[in-house]
A and B are shown apart, each in its own frame.
Chain A
Amino acid sequence: MKSWKELPIGAMIIEPGNSIEYNVAQWRVFRPVLDKNKCTKCGLCWIFCPEGAIVRNEDESYEVNLSFCKGCGICQRSCNVKAITMIKEEGL
Chain B
Amino acid sequence: MKRVALSGNYAVAYAVKMADVDVIAAYPITPQTPIVEKLSEFVADGLLDAEYINVESEHSALSACIGSSLTGARTFTATSSQGLAYMHEVLFMASSLRTSIVMANVNRALSHPLNIWNDHSDAMAERDVGWIQFWVNSVQEAFDATIQAFKIAEEVLLPVMINLDGFILSHINEVLILPDEELVREFIPSKPLFNRLSPKLAYTIGVVGPPEYYYEMRYQIIDAIERSRKNINEVNREFGELFGRTYGNISTYMMEDADYALITMGAVSSTAKIVVDSLRKEGEKVGLISIRCFRPFPKNDIIEVFEDVKSIGVLDRALTPGGIGHPLFTEIVTTLYDSSKIIPVQSFVGGLGGRDITIDDFKQMYKIIKDVGLSGRRKPCIYIGLRE
**A interface residues (Cβ-Cβ under 8 A, vs B):** 1-4, 7-14, 16
Can you list 9 residue pairs at the A/B interface with Cβ under 8 Å?
A1-B212, A4-B217, A8-B195, A10-B205, A11-B96, A12-B205, A13-B204, A13-B205, A13-B207
Which residue from B97, B195, B216 sits with its C-beta under 8 Å from A3? B216
Task: Determine if B219 and A14 form an interchain contact, defined as CB atoms under 8 angstroms apart.
Answer: no
- Closest B residue by C-beta to A24: B210
Which residue from A11, A14, A16 sits with its C-beta under 8 Å from B213? A11
Task: Determine if B223 and A4 form an interchain contact, defined as CB atoms under 8 angstroms apart.
Answer: yes
Task: Determine if B220 and A4 form an interchain contact, defined as CB atoms under 8 angstroms apart.
Answer: yes
Task: Determine if A11 and B205 form an interchain contact, defined as CB atoms under 8 angstroms apart.
Answer: yes
**B interface residues (Cβ-Cβ under 8 A, vs A):** 96-98, 157, 195, 202-205, 207, 209, 212-213, 216-217, 219-220, 223-224
| C-alpha gap A7/B217 in the complex (Å) | 8
| C-alpha gap A7/B210 in the complex (Å) | 14
Task: Determine if A11 and B209 form an interchain contact, defined as CB atoms under 8 angstroms apart.
Answer: yes
Task: Determine if B220 and A9 form an interchain contact, defined as CB atoms under 8 angstroms apart.
Answer: yes
- Closest A residue by C-beta to B201: A14
Most buried by B among A1, A7, A11: A11
Task: Determine if B216 and A10 form an interchain contact, defined as CB atoms under 8 angstroms apart.
Answer: no
| C-alpha gap A1/B211 in the complex (Å) | 12
Task: Determine if B204 and A12 form an interchain contact, defined as CB atoms under 8 angstroms apart.
Answer: yes
Task: Determine if A10 and B98 form an interchain contact, defined as CB atoms under 8 angstroms apart.
Answer: yes
| C-alpha gap A4/B217 in the complex (Å) | 7
- Closest B residue by C-beta to A6: B216
Q: A12-B204, A13-B203, A14-B203 are in contact. Are A7 and B157 (CB under 8 A)?
A: no
Which residue from B97, B98, B203, B219 sits with its C-beta under 8 Å from A4? B219
Which residue from A7, A12, A13, A14 sits with its C-beta under 8 Å from B216? A7
| C-alpha gap A24/B98 in the complex (Å) | 27
When distances are taken between beta carbons in the complex, the residues of chain B under 8 Å from A13 are 203-205, 207
Q: A9-B98, A10-B98 are in contact. Are A4 and B204 (CB under 8 A)?
A: no
When distances are taken between beta carbons in the complex, the residues of chain A under 8 Å from B219 are 4
When distances are taken between beta carbons in the complex, the residues of chain B under 8 Å from A16 are 202-204
| C-alpha gap A12/B217 in the complex (Å) | 10
Q: A4-B219, A4-B223 are in contact. Are A10 and B213 (CB under 8 A)?
A: no
Task: Determine if A12 and B220 form an interchain contact, defined as CB atoms under 8 angstroms apart.
Answer: no
A15: shortest Cβ distance to chain B, in Å? 8
| C-alpha gap A49/B224 in the complex (Å) | 44
Other contacts beyond A9-B195, A10-B157, A10-B205: 19, CB < 8 A: A3-B216, A4-B216, A7-B213, A8-B203, A9-B157, A9-B224, A10-B97, A10-B217, A10-B220, A11-B96, A11-B97, A11-B213, A11-B217, A12-B207, A13-B203, A13-B207, A16-B202, A16-B203, A16-B204
